[in-house]
């Protein structure tokens, strides 16, 4: 069995050597994740925040200005994942535990996760990329009837097929709402479907939304894989 890695200028074939399965891309991904985990552990949460302070200041200014120029308007996009071999209930139970007390599992799901931690007021602190910008924001409600938007969202799916729903505002420390999230899960005959919608200010460049749809695909695939591994043990 051979393993191919192709670039625009050359095709490289792994003819022999490693005994384990996988392509060169798989090997590289394993080592990249291991290196990244080492830096996260060595730096720690505060070390990462200190290292990224200037990036966060710039990223949050971008989000704040995008929210201002959008006049409260948002546009959404949805990533859909299908899973076999795990129920939505099993996955969401794992997620509840991870979000409450296992930051390392949450961080490991995406290279651009820097902080994912619950706050004393019930919100959830996230530092990650929004497009190319590193941003520090919170998930949860903000203000009276903060989640009423979800009841009228175009992306809202029927309760019968997607009974597990979670909605959230994304807001800065000063309360500026800079995004929204709507996640919906429904079981299938052999697993479940996840409908993952993110909303960004309407004035954001198109690539901001596109990259977060990719972000969703990476992080939720890895969380689902981790949940499945935990279920087997």
DSSP 54-102: HHHHHHHHHHHHHHHHHTT-EEEEEEEEEEESS-HHHHHHHHHHHHHH-
* Percentage of the chain exceeding pLDDT 90: 92
Statement to judge: residues 168 and 65 lie in one domain: yes
Q: Quick check: 8 pLDDT over 90? A: no
In this prediction, residue 9 carries a pLDDT of 77
CB 199 within 8 A of CB 164: no
The count of domains in the chain is: 2
Measured CA to CA, the distance from residue 217 to residue 229 in angstroms comes to 18
Measured CA to CA, the distance from residue 221 to residue 226 in angstroms comes to 9
Statement to judge: residues 74 and 176 lie in one domain: yes
pTM of the model: 0.91
CB 48 within 8 A of CB 115: yes
In this prediction, residue 1 carries a pLDDT of 44
Number of H helices, E strands in the chain: 5, 9
In this prediction, residue 147 carries a pLDDT of 75
Does residue 100 lie within any of the structural domains?
A: yes
Does residue 176 lie within any of the structural domains?
A: yes
Statement to judge: residues 35 and 132 lie in one domain: no
Q: Quick check: 180 pLDDT over 60? A: yes
Task: Return the C-alpha torsion angle 85, 227, 35, 54, nearest 10.
Answer: 120
Among 59, 43, 31, 75, residue whose Cα is nearest residue 126? 59
Residue-wise pLDDT tens digits, 160-173: 999 999 999 999 99
Measured CA to CA, the distance from residue 93 to residue 91 in angstroms comes to 5
Does residue 34 lie within any of the structural domains?
A: yes
Does residue 88 lie within any of the structural domains?
A: yes
């Amino acid at each position: 069995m051979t393993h191919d890695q192709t670039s625009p200028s050359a095709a490289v074939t792994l003819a022999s050597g490693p005994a384990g399965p996988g392509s060169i891309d798989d090997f590289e991904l394993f080592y990249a994740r291991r290196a990244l985990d080492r830096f996260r552990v060595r730096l720690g949460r505060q070390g990462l925040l200190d290292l990224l302070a200037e990036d966060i200041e710039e990223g949050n200014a971008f989000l704040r200005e995008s929210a201002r120029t959008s006049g409260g308007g948002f546009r959404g996009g949805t990533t859909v994942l299908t899973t076999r071999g795990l129920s939505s209930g099993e996955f969401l139970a794992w997620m509840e535990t991870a979000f409450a007390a296992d930051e390392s599992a949450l961080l490991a799901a995406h290279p651009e996760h820097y902080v994912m931690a619950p706050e004393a007021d019930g919100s959830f602190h996230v530092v990650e990329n929004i497009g190319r910008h590193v941003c520090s924001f919170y998930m949860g409600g903000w203000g009276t009837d903060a989640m009423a938007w979800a009841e009228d969202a175009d992306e809202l799916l029927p309760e019968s097929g997607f009974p597990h729903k979670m909605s959230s505002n994304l807001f800065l420390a000063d309360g500026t709402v800079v995004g929204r999230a709507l996640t919906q899960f429904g079981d299938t005959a052999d697993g479940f479907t996840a409908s993952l919608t993110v909303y960004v200010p309407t004035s954001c460049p198109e690539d901001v939304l596109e990259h977060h749809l990719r972000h969703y695909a990476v992080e939720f695939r890895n969380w689902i894989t981790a949940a499945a591994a935990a279920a087997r043990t």
